[in-house]
Amino acid sequence: MLRDKVALVTGGGGDIGRAIAEALARESCQVAICGRSPGTLLKTVRTIKNNGGSVLAIKADVSEREDVKEMIKKILKEWGRIDILVNNAGTISFSPVIDLPEHEWNQVINVNLTGTFLCSKYAAREMIKQGKGGVIINISSRGGKVGLKEAAPYSASKFGIIGFTQSLALELIPNRIRVNAICPGRIEGKMAQADIVATAKAEDLPKLAAEKKYAEPIPIGRLGLTSEVANLVIFLCSEKASYIVGESINITGGIDLVRGGQ
């Protein structure tokens, strides 16, 4: 279905990024991954290579224009084109707005929103030159549709990604480049564990009790799996999703069906 496509997954060393990169490799894509710390990419690289896949790890800060331009050049040098971009790199900061340092606001906005803009800009230029269409998927968040308490820069950036996705989709669809966003809810991994630890500390709960409380608002009764997010990416990259353009698709286990679910 996606055999021999060239895909770039930013933040490819994180929990969701790793799952997406590995899923694309299983679909016989040639996969580039990037991150600010090369060491975080090693697990993804090993897994893909051990399964016979093709992977290129690149040190890059997606919030830096020159890093992004150089990253795209490396991918073109290695494989000659780029067909799929998954803007997954992201960061978060927890603080009430009145106490939030400006540098933390700037960091979150720069990585999450500006990084999505820069990678889309330079990848889309190449997709247009190639003349064979393409796919861009932006990883937003449930926090891009519902403001999250004490995570204002994160929610602001993720709301911004949804608006950016819609605008970019309108611009690029004449070139047969489909742009969509995915909005994960509470997904297994380091971010969820950080939330659980914070809940345990704030409410003086044992970790198991905090884990149970964290999952309680989710109607499906559990955290989402990174593989479930990756499966949605694969679908959106495929021709089976050829009529889906400019959407922001929730993958939240139904949490937003519950009033006030936080």
- Residue 154 is among the residues annotated as catalytic for this protein: yes
Catalytic residue among 122, 154, 214, 243: 154
What letter does residue 182 receive in the DSSP assignment? Answer: E
The CA dihedral of 70, 18, 191, 182, to the nearest 10 degrees, is 80
> Coil, helix or strand for 12?
coil
- Asked if 17 and 41 count as a contact pair (C-beta separation under 8 A), the reply is no
Nearest alpha carbon to residue 179 among 111, 143, 128 = 128
> Coil, helix or strand for 133?
coil
Nearest alpha carbon to residue 172 among 133, 137, 140 = 133
Q: Name the residues annotated as catalytic.
A: 154
